[in-house]
Amino acid sequence: MKKSKSRLIWVIIVLLIALGGIIYYYIRSGTSNGSSTNNTSTSGNGATTTRTATVGRQTITKTVTGSGQITSSTDDKLSLTAGYYLYKVIASANQIYKSGDHLLEYTNGVYVNAPYNCVVKTISVGAVNTKCSAADYIEVMDVDNLTMTLNINESDLSSISVGQDAAITVNANSAQTYTGKITEIDQIRHICKSRKHI
């Protein structure tokens, strides 16, 4: 009798553990990923309605189109050393040069070098073998740090904000995407376009 009572208690304990595991499994499986919610409601006639919604996290991308112009963020005039004599101009206007490339050489063997990857915009120097003055210069524009000014529709202004990441594709080369951040929104122009004149 004692053995059968002990056996009965063990069977009940095992069944309770199994039942608890099954209940835990069903409760846990309904909310295992943390993204499902179940709402249960009972109508006046006693019928029960259950609604399940799955919530996820996604990145929303808004495409804004407009016309604009890409320009260099840095535009420098490299002044020549007054008193040095010009030996030869190595650079040509509208050509790209890497940082450190020689742009101009003086008669004493000293060079004016590209300060960064750049395009030579203008060359304003005297004739070869003449003394350079402070007015002589080579104007260069940075090709690695670009700025784009974009005119967009007023309806798109609510979709953009300063500091927001931007990916820019130009019509001339749609395979190339430039990335950056929105640094400024011209609020004055926006206000002037929004106001109605009486």
* Type and span of the H or E element at 4: helix 2-30
pLDDT per position as a tens digit, 50-109: 777 677 777 777 777 777 788 888 899 999 999 999 999 999 999 999 999 999 999 999
Rounded to whole angstroms, the Cα distance separating 79 from 135 reads 7
Q: Evaluate the CA torsion angle 12, 14, 20, 22 in order and state its sign.
A: negative
Asked if residue 95 is part of any domain, the answer here is yes
Angle at Cα 141 formed by Cα 143 and Cα 190, nearest 5°?
A: 85
- Tokens (6 digits) for 10: 């063990």
151 and 114 inside one domain: no
- Assign 44 a pLDDT band (cuts: 50, 70, 90): low
Taking alpha carbons only, the member of 87, 118, 115 closest to residue 100 is 115
For 25, phi then psi, to 5°, come to: -60, -45
The domain containing residue 164 runs over which residues? 145-194
Asked if residue 57 is part of any domain, the answer here is no
Give the CATH number for residue 126.
2.40.50.100
Task: Give the number of other Cβ atoms within 10 Å of residue 154's Cβ.
Answer: 10
Q: What is the reported pLDDT for 34? A: 46
Asked if residue 81 is part of any domain, the answer here is yes
For 131, phi then psi, to 5°, come to: -75, 130
Identify the DSSP state of 189.
H
- Tokens (6 digits) for 12: 């009940």
CA dihedral 120→123→128→133, nearest 10 degrees, is: -120
Q: What is the reported pLDDT for 2? A: 66
138 and 158 inside one domain: no
Q: Which amino acid is at 58?
A: Q
Asked if residue 46 is part of any domain, the answer here is no
180 and 155 inside one domain: yes
pLDDT per position as a tens digit, 120-165: 999 999 999 999 998 999 999 998 888 888 888 877 878 888 888 8
* Count of domains for the chain: 2
| Interacting residues of 68 by C-beta distance below 8 A, sequence separation 6+ | 148, 149, 150, 151
The DSSP bridge partners found for residue 139 are: 77, 122
78 and 137 inside one domain: yes
Asked if residue 79 is part of any domain, the answer here is yes
